Amino acid sequence: MSETAAKLVYRFGDGIADGTAEMRDLLGGKGANLAEMCNLGLPVPPGFTVTTEVCTDYYENQQQYPATLGADVEAALEHVGKLVGSGFGEKECPLLVSVRSGSRASLPGMMDSVLNLGLNDETVEGLALRSGDRRFAYDSYRRFIQMYSDVVLGVDHFEFEDILESFKEDNDFSMDTDLSADDWAEVITRYKACVEQALETSFPQDVNEQLWGAIGAVFSSWHNQRAITYRRLHAIPDDWGTAVNIQAMVFGNMGDGSATGVAFTRNPSDGTKELFGEFLVNAQGEDVVAGIRTPQNITERAREAAGSNAPSLERLMPEVFTQFKAIYEKLEGHYRDMQDVEFTIQEGKLWMLQTRAGKRTAKAALKIAVDMASEGLIDERDAVVRVDPASLDQLLHPTLDPDAEREILASGLPASPGAACGEVVFDSDEAEKLSGQGHQVVLVRVETSPEDIHGMHAAQGILTTRGGMTSHAAVVARGMGRPCVSGAGGIDIDYSAETLRAAGVEIKKGDLVTIDGSTGQVMKGRVATIQPELSGDFGILMGWADKVRRLGVRANADTPADAAAAREFGAEGIGLCRTEHMFFDADRILAVRQMILAENEAGRRDALEKILPMQRKDFTELFEIMHGLPVTIRLLDPPLHEFLPHGDDEIEHVANAIGVEPARLKRRVSELQEFNPMLGHRGCRLAITYPEIYEMQARAILEAAIDAGVSTGKPVMPEIMVPLIATKAEFDMIAARIDAMAEKVRKERSADVGYITGTMIELPRAVLKAGEIANSAEFFSFGTNDLTQTAFGISRDDSAKFLAEYTAKGILEVDPFISLDIEGVGELVRIGVERGRETRPDIKLGICGEHGGDPASIAFCEEVELDYVSCSPFRVPIARLAAAQSSIARNERENAAE
Amino acid sequence: MSETAAKLVYRFGDGIADGTAEMRDLLGGKGANLAEMCNLGLPVPPGFTVTTEVCTDYYENQQQYPATLGADVEAALEHVGKLVGSGFGEKECPLLVSVRSGSRASLPGMMDSVLNLGLNDETVEGLALRSGDRRFAYDSYRRFIQMYSDVVLGVDHFEFEDILESFKEDNDFSMDTDLSADDWAEVITRYKACVEQALETSFPQDVNEQLWGAIGAVFSSWHNQRAITYRRLHAIPDDWGTAVNIQAMVFGNMGDGSATGVAFTRNPSDGTKELFGEFLVNAQGEDVVAGIRTPQNITERAREAAGSNAPSLERLMPEVFTQFKAIYEKLEGHYRDMQDVEFTIQEGKLWMLQTRAGKRTAKAALKIAVDMASEGLIDERDAVVRVDPASLDQLLHPTLDPDAEREILASGLPASPGAACGEVVFDSDEAEKLSGQGHQVVLVRVETSPEDIHGMHAAQGILTTRGGMTSHAAVVARGMGRPCVSGAGGIDIDYSAETLRAAGVEIKKGDLVTIDGSTGQVMKGRVATIQPELSGDFGILMGWADKVRRLGVRANADTPADAAAAREFGAEGIGLCRTEHMFFDADRILAVRQMILAENEAGRRDALEKILPMQRKDFTELFEIMHGLPVTIRLLDPPLHEFLPHGDDEIEHVANAIGVEPARLKRRVSELQEFNPMLGHRGCRLAITYPEIYEMQARAILEAAIDAGVSTGKPVMPEIMVPLIATKAEFDMIAARIDAMAEKVRKERSADVGYITGTMIELPRAVLKAGEIANSAEFFSFGTNDLTQTAFGISRDDSAKFLAEYTAKGILEVDPFISLDIEGVGELVRIGVERGRETRPDIKLGICGEHGGDPASIAFCEEVELDYVSCSPFRVPIARLAAAQSSIARNERENAAE
């Protein structure tokens, strides 16, 4: 920039602007929108923007401003003065300005604004004269000194508040309004003394010194620690820089003809198309935010609805209101989105200070997007892009009433969204019993195991004190759609006393607690919740999303109930049916245990023979519900010890039930115990040792496929998935057994048996050998949970203890078990995809880790062109929308590249 | 081959041969050596070799022989007949031949040989006439029928043994020599009936049918299951094929002027340069092997040494002996290696049947290699290549006397080499106590933990029933040089009864057992052992190895004793000093526990303050012993719970000792408990949470470096290694703390503080991000133990249960924790090396996993050009030799490529 004569300063005002909304990179968001409003002919106080390039240049050149900047700023200021009929530093008719930062992306931690700049001991008298309100002038001056000293000079604002407080005490004043102009003048004297003491120099009286001080402070704040950290975390380049906006002040506090307010062009809570906003008469913008006085409604309708006596703007200043209504319609039409605007009325004249896209709830976002598309303001693709997929969670689960009071006991991980309230129980059997008696319960456990499934089903919500986002409790709860808080380490459970302690409070069995699985909070007693309500808009938007997305969306579903929920939410198949949960049903766990305790293959086969008809029934039901949609079934994965009881009492009980010596059962339990079960004798390793287990499962799947094909009239083509493959040899050995079983079933049933066999890619070695494995495997499903565990060497169940610290310290941006670690684990997925496709170009590729329901991860899946993602049933809508947005983004990228 | 007119049959005999020793690929090892002996002018029974290409062609062409093969074989047979004055199938003077397989590599499971082929009901009479010994002729015929029926026709040899047994019973014969010619004729009749019954066709009388049957059988055996499996496991291509050797029979059993024997050109047990061999008068080769008669010595000296009365060959047939002596000298000189030869003397004439490189003990290999180089027979590089590095283990540890009787109780993993015998103890304290009283003990535990270190030190050997090759017991035992068998799952330990049960035997505390850590065997009672003896040859060979190797060799050493051993074995530095073992010393474990139990950072710092001087002393000693050689120190790695006691009694005991409530200690133990500690809160993650731990360690290292630099006069430049890095941010955060501490120490001590900071690369994510990490890290040490665990998703401690099955079923060739999985984990190492070097071309690269002492893995390290390998002190000589061989192999490859 220093070489070319780039424009350093962009002016706006009086219906003309040098910039436009498109110049966000150069002018920052605020500057670009001010220019745009100006170009739209809206009443914007005149001003100018120092570009982001000046900031970049400043830092590249030892913090020197470009040579011509001084002259350009001076000329622009003169121009502004001309437009408003005043002059910067002029005694009689002083021009006052605001100085605000404004970068390309909104960036917390940067200097916000300095108002009333241009006041000094002389110009304050000019302002008094011109406004006819000496008290207003001195109040403005003291505000300026306080603000400037704080953000530019670095004198803490508490110092000024202390001075004001003691002045009020000394004079027995209770409110600021009790102070007269002379009182403020006295306060100002003390303020200036305070500055002089702190800085050993007096408060600047030179208005140019004031201005350049403020510009420098904006630039400096680009490099303060908070801004740097925020940029690093959000991958915002340092060299974007910030712009500085300098704008003539307008005053909403110049008497009863003045006012200031904020408004949304639609209702940000529910999306209703109505002007929604508030204002205060005779006030500055900061007063609205401060919440000292109750703001008034803008429209009559809103006032009536609120039952307020304070007059609306519509009634109080009908002309201004009409003008404002026209402006907000123009703005929304122009920006084609709901706007959040700030305005000031100075002595009856309306000024627009800011416009930007308004924040909104999920419900509002949905309605606004669908409405705007119906109104023709945007098209369907725009509507799809406008809704944050993650926010849909709010629509699918009960949420806490934001106005309800909460006594927070502890915080854990937001493991499964939704709020739930119930009586505390510490035991799954009891949860089931009480629930059967009509009680609402929250199951509280240190951790859950597959033996708790019935209790989790019976409970309103689940709370654990150990385990991460993908612990057993979390995964199962999400699958069931039960709210769950996991890993709430601040809670101490005493099972024998049936109590828990947290935050110094003791909660007994039967006491009420409320958990919020969307935030991880655990609260004492009942906190009011709001039930979800799925509007027609939801279905409409999902329909539009489905039209544009390329990625298939399947669900992880293990039970008929899961499968039904999955279809209801629009899943196009099952991407992961975990068969282990089926082994825990009360009527079959005995046979499973007999199998594990068998001394030899014959004994195991006997026990498996008993399980076969039940497994077949499971699969038949699942296939019938899915009605021809693809179903991927993962063969048994967990280590066998998960199916055995632990603890002496339980062992004794189970041993009696299956008729073996407790000592023998105990020995087997101890034999099967593992140091690191996640890396132990599980997955396909079980089938290498006990091939008969997978043979039984293959038979059950294939026979069920035949049966369901007949009952539904839709042929079923199951996808049989082998877990935890590390070598092609493992896969081949198991696939050969499956093929042999298929041949057997084909002959026995004289039926066509169609199926494909594939594998999870969930170990780094499988990724590297994907090219070889694809010679045999017909599909890959990336198991990104285990892949994340092995790539990072982090157990998801143990990670809660330290991963929070990792994200807090900025070592990791997000928990890699929640959102795929794209540069690490993502590279593994990429390698697996490339090598797999090289061998078998039409190989079916999906993902079935928890990441399948995370929008950022879905965008990555689109980028590497997977065929589908699979996630918990309740996340299917999120995945559908995220997939659609990923498709759109990719098309745009590709079009841009052409 | 079918297209070009390649030579199908290579003849040899009478001092001329078509082939040479170089034609091993075409003629197989046996055929090539027969040709070579012939060319050397040695007396070899004439014959010919059907090439390996015929075999390949046969399988490529639906098992059809090449068209001209029949004629070629016929002509070759005729030529052989001419040389020995007989004819194939001729009644009066029949040519008998042996048919043997012979491939490029020796291949167990293939057809070995058919002798006496050419005999039938007519030719047997001719043989009787010609030999003048009818009994010999009929004995030869029945041997032929039995052998041919077994290996060519597939009639089990037991059938023939049964017939012979019942014939002898019927006739009250006790020995084979009791049978007359007519008796044998009767046995032959029964043999032929047996064949006819089994095959529904009679035993072939046509000698050509016999011959082609045998040739076909050799080819078929190339594709039998055992051969296929062996080839797959040893990466031998199927298309190498096998040759067939057809050779005129000579007979060592034609009376007292005949004999047969085997000999080594040097002593295969100790390498002494002396003719070492045995022979039997009037016998066939199989009789020597069968061991029915006691063979006689070949030389007089050997006979005297053995105190034998049976005359030596030297005495018995002095002329033949002189001729044989000349031949063996010629052979050894020609092949420049110790030879294993087979010979037959037929009626006073010496025939050489085979020569090949002789198998030898490690001791012999070493002596022979050094001697031959001194003799000028080979050069130093040849000598280095001649010794198998893995075999050096035999020289460094006590071994079981091979002649001692053993009652094997169980088998486990060969976790740390060497044999040990002692009284069984089940408790480490007791092991220490008894050892202090002069007992020799073997410590037997289900598994060991760091609290067993003193017991392991005190014991002669360690036996565990759980855990793999890299379990705690295995790693620590190897480091200490203690023999160890781990994961002996067949043993049941009852701690309370202080007994173990295995193979139906109960062993009580105090009973003797012997373990062999080189094979994994566990034996009852005392089995005699042989103590190692390091000869001067060892040092000479190591010196030669050091001259040619490129890779540095360091040791993994944690204690002064380890370090001293490492230097003694020639380590060039320490590649891995694990600091955790230092934390377990009785005088500091209390402070460590206080640190873990501290409620806040200040409490932790207090405890660390107590540990600091002890850590500093550890490092000072280590640096002093290493005397300026590089030392890599790994900062604390294991999860903190490893340092806390388990079990109520122990907890109570410890709680009292450090003055806290047992309940609090128990709670902390339970808080720190992890599902998968291997993937838990360990390594650099500890330092993210508790930075003060690494700060203390960094201070101890740096201060010790200054102190040792002063005391030794050699400046110390410690290499500080951060474990378990997954992201660059972790490394940077920790490196910054180390640098800050260095600055502090520099000021406090006014001394130069030199050090470099690097990281373990032991997680797949670290591999992928190696390029980034190398921006900060000055060295990488590949932690291939953890890398193997995470790449495969297999916990090394839990893998014993199923990995044995994996190798048995051929899914994995070798346990990847023993020898690096080159195609999987190796690719990760390769990626890490490439990316690291791309960022920092001079980055120091090493390996410190258990693989650093494995010859195959070392070859890989040479290939990817690491700077050094690091291994247990006792494996340092192995690594030095393997590294030298890798350098030589690489040079040869590169020269060949030029």
Q: Do residue B675 and residue A786 have CB atoms under 8 angstroms apart?
A: no
Q: Which residues of B are catalytic?
A: 472, 848
The confidence band for A3, taking pLDDT boundaries of 50, 70 and 90, is very low
Q: Do residue B768 and residue A811 have CB atoms under 8 angstroms apart?
A: no
Cβ atoms of A778 and A843 within 8 Å: the answer is yes
> Environment class of residue B108 by beta-carbon count within 10 Å: exposed (0-12), middle (13-18) or buried (19+)?
exposed
Chain A positions in Cβ-Cβ contact with residue B806 (cut-off 8 Å): 688
Three-class DSSP category at B505: strand
Q: Do residue B805 and residue A688 have CB atoms under 8 angstroms apart?
A: yes
- Average pLDDT (B803-814) is 85
Chain B positions in Cβ-Cβ contact with residue A786 (cut-off 8 Å): 793
A679, A689, A729 ranked by CB distance to B805: nearest: A689
Minimal C-alpha gap between A878 and chain B (Å) = 29
Minimal C-alpha gap between A492 and chain B (Å) = 10
Q: Do residue B685 and residue A809 have CB atoms under 8 angstroms apart?
A: no
H or E element at residue A102: strand A97-103
Three-class DSSP category at A541: helix
Query: Residues B853-874: pLDDT tens digits?
Result: 999 999 999 999 999 999 988 8
Q: Which residue has the higher pLDDT, B626 or B363?
A: B626
What pLDDT sits at residue A291?
A: 60
Instruction: Answer yes or no: A454 catalytic.
Output: no
DSSP codes of every residue in A805-830? HHHHTTSSSS-TTTS--TTTHHHHHH
Minimal C-alpha gap between B667 and chain A (Å) = 10
Query: Which tokens hold the place of B660?
Result: 């806290």
Q: Which residue has the higher pLDDT, A685 or B307?
A: A685
Nearest to B426 by CA among B480, B493, B473, B488: B493
Query: Residues B665-708: pLDDT tens digits?
Result: 888 888 888 889 999 999 999 999 999 999 999 999 999 999 99
The confidence band for A9, taking pLDDT boundaries of 50, 70 and 90, is very high
Q: Do residue B791 and residue A794 have CB atoms under 8 angstroms apart?
A: no
Measured CA to CA, the distance from residue A129 to residue A388 in angstroms comes to 52
User: Which residue of A495, A670, A675, A820 to mutate against B (max B Cβ within 10 Å)?
Assistant: A675
pLDDT > 70 in chain B, percent: 98
B676, B801, B809 ranked by CB distance to A676: nearest: B676
A790, A806, A824 ranked by CB distance to B768: nearest: A824
For chain B, what is the mean pLDDT? 91
Measured CA to CA, the distance from residue A879 to residue A871 in angstroms comes to 8
B277: which strand partners? Answer: B263
Q: Is the pLDDT of residue A123 over 80?
A: yes
Q: Which residues of A606-623 are buried (b: 16+ CB within 10 A; e: fewer)?
A: ebbebbbebbbebbbbbb
Cβ atoms of B560 and B453 within 8 Å: the answer is no
Measured CA to CA, the distance from residue A631 to residue A717 in angstroms comes to 8
Q: Is the pLDDT of residue A202 over 60?
A: yes
Contacts of A457 (CB under 8 A, 6+ apart): A432, A480, A482
Measured CA to CA, the distance from residue A619 to residue A621 in angstroms comes to 5
- Average pLDDT (A396-410) is 87
User: Which residue of A794, A813, A820, A834 to mutate against B (max B Cβ within 10 Å)?
Assistant: A794
Q: Do residue B729 and residue A812 have CB atoms under 8 angstroms apart?
A: yes
B676, B727, B769 ranked by CB distance to A677: nearest: B676
Chain B positions in Cβ-Cβ contact with residue A689 (cut-off 8 Å): 802, 805
What pLDDT sits at residue A143?
A: 92
User: Which residue of B471, B475, B666, B676 to mutate against A (max A Cβ within 10 Å)?
Assistant: B676
Q: Is the pLDDT of residue A677 over 80?
A: yes
Measured CA to CA, the distance from residue A545 to residue A336 in angstroms comes to 19
Cβ atoms of A25 and A98 within 8 Å: the answer is no
Q: Do residue A726 and residue B685 have CB atoms under 8 angstroms apart?
A: no
Q: Do residue A688 and residue B802 have CB atoms under 8 angstroms apart?
A: yes
pLDDT > 90 in chain B, percent: 67
Give Cα B791 distance to the centre of its chain: 25
Chain A positions in Cβ-Cβ contact with residue B823 (cut-off 8 Å): 768-769
DSSP codes of every residue in A242-303? EEEEEEE---S-SSTT-EEEEEESS-TTT--SS-EEEEEET--HHHHHHTSSPPEESSHHHH
Selecting among A38, A194, A472, A577, the annotated active-site residue is: A472
Three-class DSSP category at B42: coil
Minimal C-alpha gap between B718 and chain A (Å) = 27
For chain A, what is the mean pLDDT? 91
ipTM of the prediction:
0.82
Minimal C-alpha gap between B613 and chain A (Å) = 29
Q: Which residue has the higher pLDDT, B815 or B732?
A: B732
Q: Do residue B724 and residue A809 have CB atoms under 8 angstroms apart?
A: no
Q: Do residue B798 and residue A676 have CB atoms under 8 angstroms apart?
A: yes
H or E element at residue A530: strand A529-530
What pLDDT sits at residue B754?
A: 93
The confidence band for A833, taking pLDDT boundaries of 50, 70 and 90, is very high
Query: Residues B599-644: pLDDT tens digits?
Result: 789 999 999 999 999 999 999 999 999 999 999 999 999 999 888 8
The confidence band for A238, taking pLDDT boundaries of 50, 70 and 90, is confident
What pLDDT sits at residue B3?
A: 45
What pLDDT sits at residue A2?
A: 45
Query: Residues B282-315: pLDDT tens digits?
Result: 888 777 666 667 789 999 999 998 888 889 999 9
Q: Is the pLDDT of residue B651 over 90?
A: no
Nearest chain B residue to A809 by CA distance is: B688
Give the 3-state secondary structure of A615-640.
Answer: HHHHHHHHHHHHCCCCEEEECCCCCH
Q: Do residue B798 and residue A680 have CB atoms under 8 angstroms apart?
A: yes
A768, A792, A798 ranked by CB distance to B763: nearest: A792
Q: Do residue A798 and residue B678 have CB atoms under 8 angstroms apart?
A: no
Q: Is the pLDDT of residue B98 over 80?
A: yes
Q: Do residue A726 and residue B795 have CB atoms under 8 angstroms apart?
A: no
What pLDDT sits at residue A1?
A: 46
Minimal C-alpha gap between B343 and chain A (Å) = 45
The confidence band for A65, taking pLDDT boundaries of 50, 70 and 90, is very high
Instruction: Answer yes or no: A79 catalytic.
Output: no
User: Which residue of B682, B759, B811 to mutate against A (max A Cβ within 10 Å)?
Assistant: B811
What pLDDT sits at residue A841?
A: 97
User: Which residue of B664, B673, B685 to mutate against A (max A Cβ within 10 Å)?
Assistant: B685
Query: What does the DSSP 8-state code read for residue A239?
Result: G
Q: Is the pLDDT of residue A254 over 90?
A: no
B492, B727, B794 ranked by CB distance to A679: nearest: B794
Query: Residues B400-443: pLDDT tens digits?
Result: 888 888 999 999 888 888 899 999 999 988 998 888 788 899 99
Cβ atoms of A518 and A403 within 8 Å: the answer is no
* Edge-to-edge strands, sheet with B113-117: B16-17, B9-13, B47-50, B242-248, B97-103, B113-117
What pLDDT sits at residue B1?
A: 46
Q: Do residue B790 and residue A791 have CB atoms under 8 angstroms apart?
A: yes
Measured CA to CA, the distance from residue B628 to residue B143 in angstroms comes to 71
The confidence band for B479, taking pLDDT boundaries of 50, 70 and 90, is low
Query: Which tokens hold the place of A828?
Result: 């593994």
Query: Residues B708-727: pLDDT tens digits?
Result: 999 999 999 999 999 999 99
Nearest chain A residue to B494 by CA distance is: A667
If you count residue pairs, one on A and one on B, with CB atoms under 8 Å apart, how many are there?
162
Minimal C-alpha gap between B856 and chain A (Å) = 20
Minimal C-alpha gap between B874 and chain A (Å) = 28
Q: Do residue B765 and residue A679 have CB atoms under 8 angstroms apart?
A: no
Q: Is the pLDDT of residue A472 over 80?
A: no
Three-class DSSP category at B492: strand
Query: Residues A324-368: pLDDT tens digits?
Result: 999 999 999 999 999 999 999 999 999 999 999 888 888 899 999
Query: Residues B69-91: pLDDT tens digits?
Result: 999 999 999 999 999 999 999 99
- Whose tokens are 């070759």? That residue is B76
Q: Is the pLDDT of residue A475 over 80?
A: no
Minimal C-alpha gap between B105 and chain A (Å) = 25
Cβ atoms of B477 and B416 within 8 Å: the answer is yes
B674, B688, B824 ranked by CB distance to A795: nearest: B674
Q: Do residue B792 and residue A765 have CB atoms under 8 angstroms apart?
A: yes
Measured CA to CA, the distance from residue B386 to residue B370 in angstroms comes to 10
Q: Do residue A769 and residue B824 have CB atoms under 8 angstroms apart?
A: yes
Three-class DSSP category at A444: strand
Chain A positions in Cβ-Cβ contact with residue B676 (cut-off 8 Å): 676-679, 795, 797-798
Least confident of A315-329, B442-456, B490-504: B442-456
Query: Residues B31-56: pLDDT tens digits?
Result: 999 999 999 999 999 999 999 999 99
Selecting among A55, A484, A684, A848, the annotated active-site residue is: A848
